Amino acid sequence: MLASNSVRDNEELWMRMQRGAWRTLAIIPASALDSAASFAFARLLVRCGQSFGQAVELADLRQIRMAQVGALLEVVDWRLQTGPRVILSTLSPEENPASVAFGRAADAAALCVTVGATSLTKARVAVSRVGRERFVGTISLAAHKGPDTQRGLLQLAPRPDELAP
């Protein structure tokens, strides 16, 4: 399913991301190449949830280092006590090892890859480092080669089980 500006498509996107009961969802880019687009996806996902009356917030954790992980997870836990779901946006594990800690601490994770550009090896490494059992799906982001950055932003695929070596 490709995301678009369509309300119907965004409803479907939000519903597909409901696999499993999660209060925190980590968006994990497979590689540095995927990090900017995965942040855009995280923002889109928050907007989708909010547009359907869900209390959803974005935690931009891209610049958080290992020494700060514990404190940030305490803040996320505190926010969860007041009700909202939290989408954790991270860098790829190759860029920031703290992303692994956030992926493991979240209730669920989604792997972001760029179609035709992300190395299968990097995707496998990211899944392995976080733990395959954490992932609810793979978000396939289209590489952008022109001014149209909205159409074809993503596809949601099944769990990344097929990435297992």
Complete domains list, the chain, with CATH = 7-163 (3.40.50.300)
Asked whether the predicted pLDDT for residue 146 surpasses 60, the reply is: no
Return the DSSP state at 133: G
pLDDT value of residue 5:
55
Average pLDDT of 146-165?
A: 45
Average pLDDT of 110-130?
A: 92
- Better pLDDT: 144 or 135: 135
Tell me which amino acid residue 118 is: T
Asked whether the predicted pLDDT for residue 2 surpasses 80, the reply is: no
- Rounded distance, CA 59 to CA 164, Å? 29
Asked whether the predicted pLDDT for residue 128 surpasses 70, the reply is: yes
Average pLDDT, the chain: 81
Q: Radius of gyration over alpha carbons of the chain, in Å?
A: 15
pLDDT value of residue 161:
54
Using an 8 Å Cβ cutoff, are 90 and 103 in contact? yes
Environment class of residue 78 by beta-carbon count within 10 Å: exposed (0-12), middle (13-18) or buried (19+)?
Answer: exposed
pLDDT in tens, 27-62: 999 999 888 889 988 998 898 888 888 899 999 989
Asked whether the predicted pLDDT for residue 144 surpasses 90, the reply is: no
- Residue 149: CB partners within 8 Å, gap ≥ 6? none
CB burial readout 104-135, b (16+ within 10 A) else e: ebbbbbbbbbbeeebeeebbbbbbebbeeebb
